[in-house]
């Protein structure tokens, strides 16, 4: 067993760390204060080949593998959760359905500009009446000549309303099977298609610079070649995309937890009370020791899930475990980081207050942690 990174993984890590230091950390306060999506940062990431990390070179990506991807995500996530979350949605659920299931023509037309970072990817599953229960979606796609007419509403879609957005990959009901079960299919709807309305930005507790919106489809007609892959397999396609997405959210969480640990340790060493640094108090030491232990465990399960993916082995159970454990670790680390900072941690002058706001969604997005437990239990054979 080898826990070391390869030279390529280390150089990607160094590249992302350096990029975060120069391009993200100095400006993150402004984006989070104003809620502005920083398109210029993603354009610079595109120049560095960072927008198609899981896509092969023939489709414009760099195909670094999932372990390297996790290493890269941890670095960007440590610097800013909004940038990392938008990057996460683009790189996995916003792009990979095209790689896994798209036709050659769809890959050339849409995946290549996504992987090159000319456009930004988005994934629309959630609806007002269908969150955890994906089968309950109401959006329909009805056959119409050689195309489809889409009607419905998607909720909380990230990345669909920016100046770089390509559009959105959605799941819709396309009819029912002979046994009466509903049939689902996936479609790519480009921005600017008549009948595709991009709603207002939804105000949130954290992830302030992530473009999250409601999308409405009103008699939105798309040609037949916008159906991704085959008709009737959309739900399976979406579940597969979410499985790799869970490794990515685990890495996003790991970055936040690691950042909480680093800033809390620094603060505890320099903040003095009762004539000594607060890091001398056992109560603070235990918080830091527990945080460090949980971060290390989160890293191990996240890397393992990524390694299984790279080996072409079953990874869904470990991906769900990684997402569950790493996001709980991030939330707990953020709570403790604020506590270690005392009153200063509650102010916007210290970065831990943003960590605290950004952490909660990690336990909710891409399948709540209750749903992760259901997935794990099912894969255990319950």
Q: Which residues are catalytic?
A: 366
126 is an interface residue for ligand FAD by CB under 6 A? yes
- 225 touching ligand FAD, by CB under 6 A: no
Give min distance, CB of 88 to ligand FAD, in A: 10
Find the binder of ligand FAD among 366, 372, 375, 376 (CB under 6 A).
366
Output the smallest distance, CB 151 to ligand FAD, in A.
17
Residue 264 token pair: 């809390």
In the complex, residue closest to ligand FAD by CB: 131
Query: To the nearest whole angstrom, how small is the minimum distance from the Cβ of residue 99 to ligand FAD?
Result: 18
Burial class (CB in 10 A: 0-12, 13-18, 19+), 56: middle
Contact of 332 with 360, CB cutoff 8 Å: no
* Residue 132 vs 270, nearer CB to ligand FAD: 132
- Reference 330, options 302, 298, 307, 308; nearest CA is 298
Minimum CB distance to ligand FAD, residue 196 (Å): 16
Residue burial 145-164, b: 16+ Cβ < 10 Å; e: rest:
eebbbbbbbbbbbbbbbbeb
Six-digit token string for 45: 């990431």
**Angstrom distance (rounded) from CA 115 to CA 5:** 24
Among 24, 41, 86, 125, binds ligand FAD (CB under 6 A): 125
The C-alpha atoms of residue 372 and residue 44 are separated, in whole angstroms, by: 34
Q: Which stretch binds ligand FAD (CB under 6 A): 101-109, 310-318, 323-331, 358-366?
A: 358-366
370 lies in the binding site for ligand FAD (CB under 6 A): yes
Contact status: 267 vs ligand FAD (CB under 6 A): no
**Choice from 158, 248, 253, 279 touching ligand FAD (CB under 6 A):** 158
Which stretch, 124-132, 264-272, 285-293, 309-317, contacts ligand FAD (CB under 6 A)?
124-132
Who's near 279: CB < 8 A, 6+ residues apart? 265, 268, 269, 285, 288
**Number of CB atoms found within 10 A of residue 219's CB:** 11
Contacts with 181 (C-beta within 8 Å, 6 or more apart), sequence order: none
- Contact pick of 69, 110, 156, 187 for ligand FAD (by CB under 6 A): 156
Tell the smallest beta-carbon distance from residue 93 to ligand FAD (Å). 7
Closest CA to 69 of 93, 51, 57, 47: 51
Provide, rounded to whole angstroms, the least separation between the CB of residue 212 and ligand FAD. Answer: 5
Footprint of ligand FAD on 79-118 (CB under 6 A): 89
List binders of ligand FAD among 162-221 (CB under 6 A). 204, 207, 212
Please work out, in degrees rounded to the nearest 5, the angle formed at the alpha carbon of residue 291 by the alpha carbons of 315 and 269: 145
| Chain residues in the site for ligand FAD (CB under 6 A) | 89, 123-126, 131-132, 156-158, 204, 207, 212, 361, 364-368, 370-371
């Amino acid at each position: 067993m080898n826990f070391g990174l390869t030279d390529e993984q280390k150089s990607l890590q160094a590249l992302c760390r350096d990029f975060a230091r120069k391009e993200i950390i100095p400006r993150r306060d402004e984006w989070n204060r104003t809620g502005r999506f920083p398109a210029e940062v993603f354009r610079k990431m595109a120049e560095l080949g960072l927008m198609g990390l899981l896509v092969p070179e023939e489709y414009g990506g760099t195909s670094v593998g999932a372990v390297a991807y996790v290493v890269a995500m941890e670095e960007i996530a440590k610097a800013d959760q909004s940038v990392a979350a938008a990057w996460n949605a683009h790189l996995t659920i916003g792009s990979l359905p095209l790689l896994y299931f798209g036709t050659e023509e769809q890959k050339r037309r849409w995946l290549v500009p996504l992987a090159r970072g000319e456009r930004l990817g988005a994934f629309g599953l959630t609806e007002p009446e269908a969150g955890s229960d994906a089968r309950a979606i109401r959006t329909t796609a009805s056959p119409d000549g050689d195309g489809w007419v889409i009607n419905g509403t998607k909720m909380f879609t990230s990345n669909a309303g920016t100046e770089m957005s390509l559009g959105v990959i959605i799941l819709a009901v396309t009819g029912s099977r002979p046994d009466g079960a509903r049939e689902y299919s996936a479609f790519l709807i480009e921005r600017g298609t008549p009948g595709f309305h991009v709603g207002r930005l939804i105000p949130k507790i954290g992830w302030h610079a992530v473009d999250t919106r409601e999308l409405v489809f009103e008699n939105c007609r798309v040609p037949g070649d916008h159906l991704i892959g085959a008709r009737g397999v959309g739900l399976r396609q979406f579940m597969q995309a979410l499985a790799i997405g869970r490794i990515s959210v685990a890495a996003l969480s790991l970055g936040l937890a690691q950042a909480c640990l680093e800033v809390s340790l620094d603060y505890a060493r320099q903040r003095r009370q009762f004539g000594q640094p607060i890091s001398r108090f056992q109560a603070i030491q235990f918080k830091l020791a527990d945080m460090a232990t949980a971060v290390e465990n989160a890293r191990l399960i996240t890397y393992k899930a990524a390694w299984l993916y790279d080996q072409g082995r079953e990874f869904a159970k470990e991906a769900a475990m990684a997402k569950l454990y790493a996001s709980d670790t991030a939330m707990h680390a953020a709570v403790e980081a604020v506590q270690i900072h005392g009153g200063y941690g509650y102010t916007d002058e210290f970065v831990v207050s943003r960590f605290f706001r950004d952490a909660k969604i990690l336990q909710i997005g891409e399948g709540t942690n209750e749903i992760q437990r259901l997935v794990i239990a099912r894969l255990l054979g319950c």
